[in-house]
Structure 1
Amino acid sequence: MKVLVFAPHNDDEVLGVGGTIAKYTQSGNQVIVCEVTSGSNENIVKKIKKEALQAHKLLGVTETVFLDLPVVNLKNLEVDKLNASFLEIVQKVKPDVAFIPHKGDMHIDHYEVAMAAMVALRPVNNPQLKAIYAYETLSETEWTIPNAENAFMPNVWNDITNTFTSKVEAMKCYQTQLQEFPHPRSLQAIDALANLRGSTICVNKAEAFMCLRNVL
């Protein structure tokens, strides 16, 4: 099975789907991660990309794709060009399952990635696609304006008790992004969220998602 994960920024995929990615790869599935944006400072970009590749290696990611689109400026790109870049990846991978950011997140890039991904993942072009899930991202999902449209309402949980250590080790690779608690992008906050989501389904650790499409 092929699993495609869209990450607006480097580390979003680990924060939202890290344990699930490891669980998929350990079961023999292929996981392709598409990192959508990068900054303008070449030295920092190189460092973050190196961190991403190290993290993905720990998680068993099959392939990492860097689109190198401008961070914070996705909304200023021509819509047809943005959608085309996503469509190219989807047509190449032909995923069976896809994970995208929650469209209600505070960062505008998350919204733009979610919408472009949904265009590329339309069922008319993807008969093989069985499920699309939206994931939560610490410091983006919980910090957004609280209203019904923005709310992240999980209806799918994945037990990551056995792969949580892999998620933590992958996040440690992102030294440019990792913060000290009480910042949400800290190891303690990641642990706390995994405990909360796990307690919802009576397991030690879990990741939660919103099911956007499921074909039985």
Structure 2
Amino acid sequence: MFGNDNTVLVIGAHPDDEVLGAGGAIAKHSNADDDVHILIVSEGSTQQYDDPDLIVEKREHAHTCADRLGASAVHFGGLPDMRLSDIAHVDINETIESVCADINPDVVYTHSRREVNRDHVAVHDSTLVATRPGSGVSTVLSYETPSSTDFSPDLDGFEPNMFVDISDQIECKIDAFNAYKTEIREYPHPRSPEALRAIARARGASSGFEFAEAFDVLRMYR
């Protein structure tokens, strides 16, 4: 999955979701010379902070983060933050399908559906539409989002069935996350550098690596 000239699309509802959930995998794909694109579906600011200027700032942070991870491009859907569950499903579908049509990804990463954040669930559902059989996508994976997946009331919780060794990428992931200056929280908050390292270490302990990221394989066509 890493290498073989894959085109990879990592989808996040908000700026920083991509690095929280799959930053190590992004860096690993980039190191393997895969072409990695990131799609941020919402503008990620106005509903939470009531400051439109933060939209521009967060886009700058997203580009800095992507550069540190080695991604080749960042795409922005610009949909309303924290209101994706109120938007017509077809509009979110179209946002994702448009980027898929432009880059023709082989591998797609998206949110888990076992989430407390309704924006994340909406993105998950629309990703499955955009990557349905016949789309040309060979692999679809969902990732966990610290401070959201772990807060879900779903009793089953996030149940990963694939682990990726990011022992060589963990410091790159932390450095990339630090680009999001407005999103960093103090430990023990899950969105802190210390917590991200601890989560990766725990996932590694579950899979025989020093550090790992965990994913749920939603679809794989071979």
Structure 2 residue runs without a partner (length 5+): 1-5
TM-score normalised over the length of structure 2: 0.93
Q: CA separation in 1, counterparts of 2:164 and 2:89? A: 33
Residue 19 of structure 1: aligned partner: 24
Name the structure 2 match of 1:144.
152
Displaced runs of 4 or more, over 4 A: none
Contact 2:37/2:75, CA 8 A, preserved across alignment: yes
Match of 2:159 among 142, 153, 173: 153
CA-to-partner distance for each residue in 1:22-51, whole Å, 9 max, x for gaps?
010011100000001113332111111111
The aligned residue for residue 203 of structure 2 is 197
1:67 aligns with 2:77: yes
CA distance in 2, matches of 1:208, 1:24: 15
Q: Which amino acid aligns with 1:92?
A: D
Indicate the larger mover: 75-84 or 62-71: 75-84
Give the superposition deviation at 1:104: 1.3
Instruction: Write the distance in 1 (CA, Å) between the matches of 2:154 and 2:89.
Output: 27
1:170-209 alignment to 2 at 5 Å? 170-209=176-215
Instruction: Please report how far the alpha carbon of residue 81 of structure 1 lies from its aligned counterpart in structure 2 after TM superposition.
Output: 2.0
What is the alpha-carbon distance in structure 2 between the residues aligned to residue 210 and residue 79 of structure 1? 23
Question: 1:10: which partner in 2?
Answer: 15
- Looking at structure 1, the residues matched to 91 and 221 of structure 2 have their Cα atoms a distance apart, in angstroms, of 29
Larger CA deviation: 160-169 vs 33-42: 33-42
2:101 and 2:193 map into 1 onto residues whose CA distance is 35
Give me the whole-angstrom Cα distance separating, in 2, the residues matched to 1:212 and 1:195: 24
Which runs of 5 or more structure 1 residues have no equivalent in the other structure? none
Is 1:166 aligned to 2:172, yes or no? yes
Report the 3-state secondary structure (helix = DSSP H, G, I; strand = E; otherwise coil) of the residue aligned with 2:64.
helix
- 2:116 alignment partner AA: M
| Structure 1 Cα separation of the partners of residues 37 and 29 of structure 2 | 11
How far apart, in 2, do the equivalents of 1:134 and 1:160 lie? 17
The CA distance in 2 between the partners of 1:158 and 1:203, in whole Å, is 9
SS in 2 for 1:142: helix
Task: Quote the Cα distance in structure 2 between the aligned partners of 1:15 and 1:82.
Answer: 21
Percent identical among aligned pairs is 31
- For 1:112, what is the secondary structure of its paired residue? helix
Aligned length: 212
Code of the aligned partner of 1:139: S
1-side partners of 2:197 and 2:32: how far apart?
Answer: 23
1:130 is displaced (CA, Å) by: 1.5
